[in-house]
Amino acid sequence: MFIARKKAIRYVMAIFIIFSLNFAIPRAMPGDPVMNLLGEDVIVSESSVAEMRTKMGLDEPLYIQYLKYWSDIFHLDLGYSYHLHSEVSKVLFTKMKWTLLLVVPTIILGAVIGTPLGALAGWRRKDSNEKIMTMSFLFVYCTPPYFLSILFIYLFSFKIGWFPLKGFYTTGTPGDIVYHLFLPVTVMTLFAASRNYMIMRGSVIQEMQMLYATYARAKGLFGREILFRHIFKNASLPIITLVALDFGFIFSGALFVEIVFSMNGMGNLIYDAILARDYPVLQGSFLLITVMVVLANLLADILYGLLDPRVRWQG
């Protein structure tokens, strides 16, 4: 009970700190939202600028804006976009569903592909074929997702012409959407699978040295029987944490991939909001990503307790 209370306090403190940084970081950027909205070549009077600043709530002291920011959060109000002239919640819902179509398959496929292959690579670490595979995954693991996207789009879209250069869809049919998503999902899946592969490989190598693995051999078990009946479950615990963190890392990687593939999702939304100094959109986007990452880590804690009896015993 005490540990559960400590975890709850930890999550609350993390959310408070991240939400506060979410308010401060956009305002620390150089530039003025009002002047970005008006444009550089527009000449207006100081009274008009002051009136706009008042309507946007930027004329008040920062501590007043901060208190209103928290008040809006408690009222589930993400504000109104300066440039898009729409409620931020509606804009985020429209963009988020497309980004999730890219992120969710990536996380699932990355775990399904990378975890068992990494386990086999750790079990047969001296095999020459496994060494070649490990070097291949290591190459992908060390390559930034946006650079991998540029390579893929140049080869498969520009040179060969197998896939479209940009966008989520042309006609909007399910087949058309899958056709447009195939290349970016492949890029992100390779990136996620490579991380899971490397972590799982190291975890299996470590677990192989434990006494329970020796005891399994002494009972007469051998080969993959030991791996998948005993070692795999314990070795996969770090993967649970990694998959939870993937909601943050994959999301950030997906934003760059969306920009490379010119997809009209969260990536381009955040990019445009940064250029326009659109504080409400930036705050709403980062809040949404923060909540998803925190919920994913909470789910990881629950799964840890289900898979590892030691965690339940400590609880």
Pair 139, 47 in one domain: no
**Cβ-based neighbour number of residue 56 at 10 Å:** 16
Pair 55, 182 in one domain: no
Q: Is the pTM of this model over 0.75?
A: no
pLDDT computed for residue 50 by the predictor: 72
Pair 65, 194 in one domain: no
Structure tokens at 120: 């086999």
Residue 315 has pLDDT above 60, yes or no: no
Residue 278: closest CA among 26, 91, 64, 65: 26
Report the C-alpha gap between 156 and 168 in whole angstroms. 16
Beta bridge pairs of residue 87: 80
| Residue 303 lies in domain | 94-314
**Cβ-based neighbour number of residue 235 at 10 Å:** 26
Residue 83 in domain: no
User: What digits encode the pLDDT tens for the residues 43-96?
Assistant: 666 666 677 777 777 778 888 888 888 888 888 888 888 777 788 888 888 888
User: DSSP secondary structure string, 146-160?
Assistant: HHHHHHHIIIIIIIS
Pair 262, 134 in one domain: yes
Pair 61, 206 in one domain: no
Domain boundary among 40, 74, 108: 74
pLDDT computed for residue 311 by the predictor: 55
Residue 198: closest CA among 147, 130, 127: 130
Alpha helices in 124-231 (DSSP H): 128-141, 145-152, 174-207, 211-218, 224-226
Residue 250 in domain: yes
Residue 89 in domain: no
Pair 109, 188 in one domain: yes
Domain count, the chain: 2
pLDDT computed for residue 231 by the predictor: 67
Pair 70, 178 in one domain: no
Q: What is the DSSP letter of 85?
A: -
Residue 247 in domain: yes
User: What digits encode the pLDDT tens for the residues 156-183?
Assistant: 888 887 887 777 667 767 788 888 888 8
Mean local confidence (pLDDT), 301-307: 68
Pair 58, 99 in one domain: no
CATH of the domain at 240: 1.10.3720.10
pLDDT computed for residue 314 by the predictor: 52
Residue 84 in domain: no
Pair 294, 159 in one domain: yes
pLDDT computed for residue 160 by the predictor: 83
Pair 189, 265 in one domain: yes
Report the C-alpha gap between 168 and 93 in whole angstroms. 16
Report the C-alpha gap between 33 and 12 in whole angstroms. 31
Pair 210, 256 in one domain: yes
Pair 289, 163 in one domain: yes
